[in-house]
Structures are given as C-alpha cells and as structure tokens.
Amino acid sequence: MPTPTTRTPEVSENDVLRAMFAARKEVFVDLLKWDLPVLDGRFEIDQFDTPAAHYLILADEWGRHRASARLLPTDSSHLLGDLYPFLCDGPVPAGPNVREITRFCLDRNQTAGERRMARNQLVTALAEHALATGITDYTGVAEIGWLQQILQFGWLSRPLGRPLRQDGRTLAALHIQIDERTIDGLKRGGVFEPLTFALFGQQELVE
C-alpha cells in the first residue's frame, strides 16, 4: 500500500501506478527502444518491480503521470549490483541507508518546458524524501548525456567508474551523497523546485 509523504491528488492508487508503468513503456520502450519486458502490451515492468521497490510519483491535479522514479534497496537485488557492477571501479555502494534510483521517467505528453519543470521537481522530491527518511546515499546507472546533467544539479555527486559502451549505449555508474548541504546545492544549481509528491509501494496492476 502507498505511504503518502505529502498530500496527493484524490485518485485511485492503482490508477497512479498504472499511469507510471504506461509512461515508462512510452519512454523507455517506444522512444528509447530499450529491450525491456512489457506487460499486457501497455506496462513496462521488469524483475526489479517487486514488493521491495518504491516509487516517487508526481501527478497533475487529475492524477495523470508527470514524472516518476523507482527506488530500490541496495542490500538486496538491484540493477547496479546485479547487472552492472563492472561499471564501478570499487565495490558497489550498498547498505540500509543507500537507495538506487532507476527508471527516472518524464512523461512524453508534456512540452519541453513542462518536462524540465517536472525534472526539477522530481530531483527536489528525491532529495527531500531522502532527508525525511534517513537515506544518505543514492546510486544509479545513467547514459552519458543524462549523467552529465545529474553531475551539474548542485548536489554532491560523482561517477563510480569510467563510462563504458554496453548494448549500444554509453553507461556510467554514479553516486549521490545526501546531507544538510543538498538543498542549498540544488538551489544554487537552479534545480530546487518543491512540489507535492507521494511514495508508493508495489501492488497488483491487472485484474
């Protein structure tokens, strides 16, 4: 069941999750052409969408998906540790206060300006959620262009190894430290933009 961290639109929890998984299919499968499993021809869902996964979801006033990210615990199965450990020069960061950010998704049905605003709001939500719940570190795997953006947001972030070519994409692992300096850093980077968000857990998606 979802655990709301702030007030969220009055819509069905299942509808919000369905909209997120549908948006992931539109972005990662239809647009970016990633080879990922698709459920019922509509939802992008993989082996890491388990009860251990949680989702930060930004929705508009009607509950329509704007942006979202999946958070995975790193002391169990996760993308960097299971599939891409070779992207790290040293051990893969892991622990009870470390979460992996995956499936950072900006809905395609927005203008460029709306997507940029949604990006800033989701980055801010990730920082605020971490500070509120005791998360001290985020990790992730990013394509090189996205990595360059992340490193310029103003928070303490660094690559964990050299970018490598994998499956037709140049990928890199990254680490983000979250502490009392994070919000000020995002403000200096011009990214801080708070907005209502909610933390959701996995549940049944199809009847």
Residues near 184 by Cβ (< 8 Å), separated by ≥ 6? none
Report how far residue 73's alpha carbon sits from residue 183's, in angstroms, rounded to the nearest whole number.
23
Structure tokens belonging to residue 87: 């992207």
Predicted local distance difference test score (pLDDT) of residue 15:
87
Instruction: Give pLDDT tens digits along the chain (207 positions).
Output: 333 334 444 567 788 899 999 999 999 999 999 999 999 999 999 999 999 999 999 988 788 899 999 999 999 999 999 999 999 999 999 999 999 999 999 999 999 999 999 999 999 999 999 999 999 999 999 999 999 999 999 999 999 999 999 888 999 999 999 999 999 999 999 999 988 665 666 544 433
Q: Which residues contact 179 (CB under 8 A, 6 or more apart)?
A: 136, 156
SS3 sequence of 119-185: HHHHHHHHHHHHHHHCCCEEEEEEEHHHHHHHCCCCCEEEECCCCEEECCEEEEEEEEECCCCHHHH
The secondary structure of residue 3, as a DSSP letter, is B
So what's the pLDDT on residue 10?
Answer: 57
